[in-house]
Amino acid sequence: MQRRMRILDSIAKPTDLHVLSVAELGILASEIRAQIIDTTSKTGGHVASSLGAVDIIVALHSLLDAPKDKIVFDVGHQSYAHKLVTGRADVFDTLRSYDGISGFPRPSESVYDTHPSGHASDSLSVASGLAKAKQLNGTDERIVAVIGDAALAGGMAFEALNYIGSQQLPMVIVLNDNEMSISRNVGALMKHFGNIRATSQYRDAREQLQEMLEGGGRTSNAFAEFGKRAKESMKQMFLPQSMIYEQLGIVCTPPIDGNDIGVLREMLELVLPVNGPVLIHAVTKKGAGYGPAEEQAERFHGVGPYNPATGTPLSQGGPAKTATQVFSEALVREASADGRIVAITAAMEGGTGLKAFRSAFPERFIDVGIAEEQAVAMASGLAIAGKKPVVAIYSTFMQRAIDQMAVDVALPNLDVVFALDRAGLVGDDGPTHHGVFDLVYLRMLPNMKVIVPSSEQRLSDAVHTALRLNGPVAIRYPRGSAEHDDYDDAIAPELLEVGASRTLREGDDAAILAFGRMVSRSLAAAELLAADGISARVVDMTWAKPLDEEAIRAAAATRLVVTVEEGVVAGGVGEGVLEVLSRLDSKTRAITLGIPDSFVLQGKSELLLHDLGLDAEGIAAAVREGIA
């Protein structure tokens, strides 16, 4: 049976939405949700956040003239509807796939993507630059930033709000208030939003707004009139909790239904002409329009393939344990024996495996929200007070707290453990989420020790070891299912010797010094080389800092030294090995394998590793060339 023609099929560019009625826009929104569910059930993706933002995006594009007018998304995983109405509907089935379209805005992919949004709380800063340029140039484009309530609690967002209000920048901020980040939001600001939604004054202000809209007001003067009429209700609503945005010089609307396109359009028509900053408080439902995502918003924040009828995940096969789960079990075991251990995360309790810790030790679990700088600096205070803080954050997000790691932790040489999940290539989320820079920013810090376990059992050993060392220690481990069968939670963890590697295979022609999950691939490469008559030693280096200089000295006795790391080569651990070889005055040829000086796009990790020459075949080919 032939599929009926959808409105979505007729949308070639976002201005095509201008001719649609509110009812037709509602139908389009339903079609977009159906397409998101159909596609992500096969590809996986950020489902709940994108479903919740559909109506906001449809309403915006029905009034804006993109790409002249600019939409800046915060994080960007809420932008699937934006992709569908900006000429990418016919390739949407390639979402997050190798050689497909990104799961985040990407300017190189479309002129409608203003900014490569991938990390939270930066949209207001980027949009403020666009709005300032508008002021300087005297142009008339409209600037809109879409930011979630969790991202708005980030320090960078507050820095931007302060500047936007002080300069009265002409821009609209759409606050997508869905009460969620990756995990449920925490903090005083989140309570503030909740209090606003619960007040009778909120309902009164909404009724006044509706009366104003029904009166036909469509100009900045009409908006000013609405402001006067709602002023007292606004004061009652925000005070004594504080009229935080008004105090910063930003007009803030009362909360409106962010999943009602008609209400959104009417509000946007009022505020877009205003020559100053306005914040629209849009209350949305994360996962709106899809029952499983509404009921399990945290799980549907980012999922793999699933059954669209039920929302249940499709089996991915492979071992049951992931590195994250092994870390979780190891930390709970250690905390059971040591009451000084405290776990800290930044709005990713589930993603970092800390749910079990929170369940076992709720009083020792801390979620600071999307505020990595706060997490690290707070850990320093806890360490000063005699606690043993473990900061569990994704590698790519830990980049946001490098200064705190340096000044607040490394400089005073405090006992803080950094657990960097998702280190290396993360696959489908692409360049904003690959954890490929941590070996550089960790190794450059004095006093920092860095463990790179090659297996799940070694990860368990690393957690055990890190909590017994003096000074800061970082452990980096990859995303996804375990690749080894050596882990047994019944086996007592071992204390790793600082800076000591282990030789897993002997060889005289070449020495492969491997880090992390590159060890298993290096062993496979050695098997391929053996078939060619090349004898390759494989060393599990284990420590990126300090390096095992004796192992490097021994490697220099072969014809070729090859380092293999799942991180950038520039400034990486391979360059650290070259430094040691230089001090040894070694004449042995050396090759560093890793991520080249370019950003890596999305795709399954194994495909990306193959392209980068970091699989067994690529490593073997590099060795063959090196000793030829």
Summarised one tens digit per residue, pLDDT across range 556-588 is 999 999 999 999 999 999 999 999 999 999 999
Residue with tokens 């929302």: 311
Task: Of 64, 63, 4, give the one whose Cα is nearest residue 31.
Answer: 4
Q: What confidence tier does 468 reach under pLDDT thresholds 50, 70, 90?
A: very high
Residues 327 and 356: their CA atoms lie apart, in Å, by 11
Q: Identify the pLDDT of residue 612.
A: 96
Which of the two residues, 59 and 318, has the higher pLDDT score?
59
Which of the two residues, 340 and 179, has the higher pLDDT score?
340
Q: What confidence tier does 218 reach under pLDDT thresholds 50, 70, 90?
A: very low
Task: Summarize the confidence of residues 488-510 as an average pLDDT.
Answer: 93
SS (H, E, C) 425-461: CCCCCCCCCCECCHHHHHHCCCCCEEECCCCHHHHHH
Task: Summarize the confidence of residues 243-260 as an average pLDDT.
Answer: 87
The answer, yes or no, to whether the previous bond of 67 is cis (omega within 30 of 0) is yes
Q: Identify the pLDDT of residue 119.
A: 84
SS (H, E, C) 41-61: HHHCECHHHHHHHHHHHHHHH
Q: What confidence tier does 77 reach under pLDDT thresholds 50, 70, 90?
A: confident
Task: Of 352, 309, 310, 302, give the one whose Cα is nearest residue 331.
Answer: 352
Please report the sign of the dihedral spanned by the C-alpha atoms of residue 352, residue 484, residue 396, residue 100: negative
Query: Could you give the angle at which helices 22-43 and 261-271 cross, rounded to 10 degrees?
Result: 110
Please report the sign of the dihedral spanned by the C-alpha atoms of residue 83, residue 89, residue 90, residue 91: positive
Residues 327 and 345: their CA atoms lie apart, in Å, by 14
Number of H helices, E strands in the chain: 24, 18
Which of the two residues, 186 and 313, has the higher pLDDT score?
313
Q: Out of 77-91, 223-237, 253-267, 526-540, which region has the weakest mean confidence (pLDDT)?
A: 223-237
Q: Identify the pLDDT of residue 208.
A: 52
Q: What confidence tier does 316 reach under pLDDT thresholds 50, 70, 90?
A: low
Residues 600 and 596: their CA atoms lie apart, in Å, by 9
User: Residue 217: pLDDT above 90?
Assistant: no
User: Residue 44: pLDDT above 80?
Assistant: yes
User: Residue 228: pLDDT above 70?
Assistant: no
pLDDT (tens digit per residue) in 157-198 = 999 999 999 999 999 999 999 865 444 444 544 444 444 443
Name residue 389's beta-bridge partners: 342
Q: Identify the pLDDT of residue 2.
A: 54
Q: Which of 372, 565, 566, 575 is catalytic?
A: 372
Is 400 among the residues known to form the active site? Answer: yes
Q: Identify the pLDDT of residue 372.
A: 95
What is the radius of gyration, based on Cα positions, of the chain?
Answer: 26
pLDDT (tens digit per residue) in 142-156 = 999 999 988 888 889
Is 333 among the residues known to form the active site? Answer: no
Across the chain, mean pLDDT equals 88
User: Residue 227: pLDDT above 80?
Assistant: no
Q: Which of 206, 400, 449, 476 is catalytic?
A: 400
Task: Summarize the confidence of residues 3-13 as an average pLDDT.
Answer: 90
Q: Identify the pLDDT of residue 215.
A: 52
Tokens found for residue 426: 């993360």
Residues 428 and 438: their CA atoms lie apart, in Å, by 19
Task: Of 395, 392, 399, give the one whose Cα is nearest residue 353.
Answer: 392
The DSSP bridge pattern shows strands 543-545 and 449-451 to be antiparallel
Task: Summarize the confidence of residues 45-65 as an average pLDDT.
Answer: 95
Return the amino acid letter for 564. V
Q: Which of 286, 358, 443, 537 is catalytic?
A: 286
Is 372 among the residues known to form the active site? Answer: yes
CB contact at 8 A, 230 and 256: no
Q: Identify the pLDDT of residue 182.
A: 44
Tokens found for residue 184: 């449920």
Q: Identify the pLDDT of residue 395.
A: 96
Q: Identify the pLDDT of residue 198.
A: 38
Residues 325 and 317: their CA atoms lie apart, in Å, by 16
